[in-house]
Amino acid sequence: MTGPEVAVCVPVHDQGAFLPRALEGLLAQEVSGWEAVVVDDGSADPEAVTAVVRAAGDGRLRLLRSPVNRGLGAALNAALDATTAPVVAYLPADDVWFPEHLAALLACLADPDVVLARSGLVAPADTPYAQLVQVAHRRTGERWTERAELESDDLDRLMWARVRARGGTAETGWVTCDWIRHPGQRSRAIRESFDGGLNVFRSRYRIAEPLRFSSTDSDPVDEVARYARFRVRAYPSTPDGLRILLVGELAFNPERVLALAERGHRLNGLWTTDGLGDSTVGPLPFGHVADLDRDRWPEAVGEFAPDVVWAQLNWRAIPFAHALRTALPDLPFVWHFKESPQRSIVRGEWPLLADLVAGADACLLATEEERDWFALALRGRVDPARLGVLDGDLPKRDWLDAPLSPKLSDADGQPHTVVLGRPAGLDADWLTELASRGVHTHLYGQVRAPGPKGAWAAWLDEALSAAPEHVHLHPAVGPEDWVRELSRYDAGWLHRLPSDNGGDLRRASWDDLNSPARLPVLLAAGLPLLQPARPGSLVAVERILRDQDTGLFYGCAEEAAAVLTQEVADRRGARAALAVRERHTFDAHADRLVDLFRSLIG
């Protein structure tokens, strides 16, 4: 008796509702010589998965279970280890095969030179790699990349490229499967253009360890290397240390909270499950912050008995922070908010935000202008004396401990400027005009992706073509390299955006109230900031730069080139930036924050 022709790997994590449909398609295959393993990778309701597999009533179908989520690679490798058939196919629990699917793939693999076959999808996936559901390949001995090495939506990197290297590939020419699009897809949890990203992925799969993470929508991140210095340290609590509950999300530079652990305070976390990809939530990759059980958080908070709740930071955290404040009104509660009241109004969450600002025992806002905006917007409801100012995502001071690099302009005599992340307000005409005046623009972390994050792609190719010697692209730079990499430049760009509030905060936009997260990053590297001069308007970041003499102000490209030429000549802005950069770290304000916490405890 011969063994099965095809091993079918069926990974499932919290997709039990889809699984019956997937298994029905498997059981309906024209090819009957298959073996299949359903791998339940830490589903919250494993009994539901077991019931579906049992109901299928087919001896060719087996179930493996992991009590915790180990990742797609580990799940697929477990299925490979549990099967022996010479051909491997994949049926994620949320996808569908049509009856002729395996037959079409096997027909391609009948050619001994073909190692991997791919079917068509009902609707193209619009990804540069094939989806699991459409692929079958020979068993080659290759293994799936597992979480400890890399998590990615890019299946070429996780497996396909290694299999293809063993031989030829073929298309069936037939549409025999359906890749089901829905909010719970793993790929959507990874990709920022679908409201996913590293921290959405971390939260959904409850990943306790730091990640090496790469998405087709964003730059790679190696948290293992980035946070190693913090993970190996000890942060013992002191007898007078506070028990601080972090609530919501930490946005950028999350390791800043360790400045409190360094001072002997105990930190626990309770996080929103509705965050953004770049809004950091736990389990925190640098360690030393224990998460409370989010499935029973009211009881867990009571068991932890915090001295103070420090809830934060941006609009996605508002509903959960409000729910906690409502459920546990007697706990000392600090609401720390940055971005943005205008977004909250659009989302219909202004009533919740107003409750938090007015009802917290203390409220911290990002800038003086944001504080004053709230004082006006909630006049008669909020005590202005309870509103303070502290930029919520300042970096940790540790990243400043690196040597400065020689300036590129010292070698070629031309100004070199840098853009970090989204180039708001820049375009091809602006960069080309700067280039004509000898100004270089270095753009970091630009990703070709759908949505606002990739909007620059519409004009960047034009700029590169028009000024190839003066427009430069670089991968994203992490905090461990900020000082070394960015100090080569002469100045950094802030957002080039209009302001027409006429000095009246009632007319202010978020860009008027904001202090961009790139400000302390560029100051850390000793760079002055290029900021449009907006006379007659109240603009928070312009006030900060003028107060600290760290701004290079301009109206047009000619003026921008002129102030850059002067900066290259005298380095006045660089000296000012180095003089104030310590103030733009969280550590510089940690003691003041602890004093606030203690004042509320009584």
pLDDT at 445: 87
- Residue that the structure tokens 């180039």 belong to: 423
pLDDT at 446: 75
Mean pLDDT of 454-465: 82
Mean pLDDT of 287-304: 96
Percent of the chain with pLDDT over 70: 98
CA distance 101 to 176: 5
pLDDT at 422: 85
Model confidence over 179-217: pLDDT tens digits? 999 999 999 999 988 999 999 999 999 999 999 999 998
Model confidence over 226-241: pLDDT tens digits? 999 999 999 999 999 9
pLDDT at 219: 86
Question: Which domains occur in the chain, in start order?
Answer: 6-188 (3.90.550.10), 227-394 (3.40.50.2000), 398-584 (3.40.50.2000)
Mean pLDDT of 554-558: 97
Buried b / exposed e over 197-230, threshold 16 CB at 10 Å, is: bbbbbbbbbebeebbbbbbbbbbebbbbebbeeb
Model confidence over 329-350: pLDDT tens digits? 999 999 999 999 999 999 999 9
Model confidence over 96-129: pLDDT tens digits? 999 999 999 999 999 999 999 999 999 999 999 9
The overall average pLDDT reported for the chain is 96
| Residue 585 one-letter amino acid | T
Mean pLDDT of 283-306: 96
Structure tokens, 85:
């058939």
CA distance 155 to 320: 34
| Residue 516 one-letter amino acid | P
Q: Please say if the pLDDT value at position 275 is more than 70.
A: yes
- State whether residue 461 is helix, strand or coil: helix
Q: Which residues contact 243 (CB under 8 A, 6 or more apart)?
A: 265, 266, 268, 304, 305, 306, 307, 308
**pLDDT-derived band of residue 466, with 50, 70 and 90 as boundaries?**
very high
Of 204, 160, 164, the closest CA to residue 183 belongs to 204
Alpha carbons within 13 A on the beta-carbon side of 422: 13
pLDDT at 277: 81
Q: Which residues contact 287 (CB under 8 A, 6 or more apart)?
A: 227, 230, 231
- Residue that the structure tokens 């000793």 belong to: 526
pLDDT at 455: 64
Structure tokens, 478:
């992490």
Alpha carbons within 13 A on the beta-carbon side of 281: 30
Structure tokens, 112:
């001994």
pTM value surpassing 0.75: yes
Model confidence over 571-601: pLDDT tens digits? 999 999 999 999 999 999 999 999 999 999 9
pLDDT at 465: 94
Of 492, 367, 488, the closest CA to residue 421 belongs to 492
Q: Please say if the pLDDT value at position 280 is more than 80.
A: yes
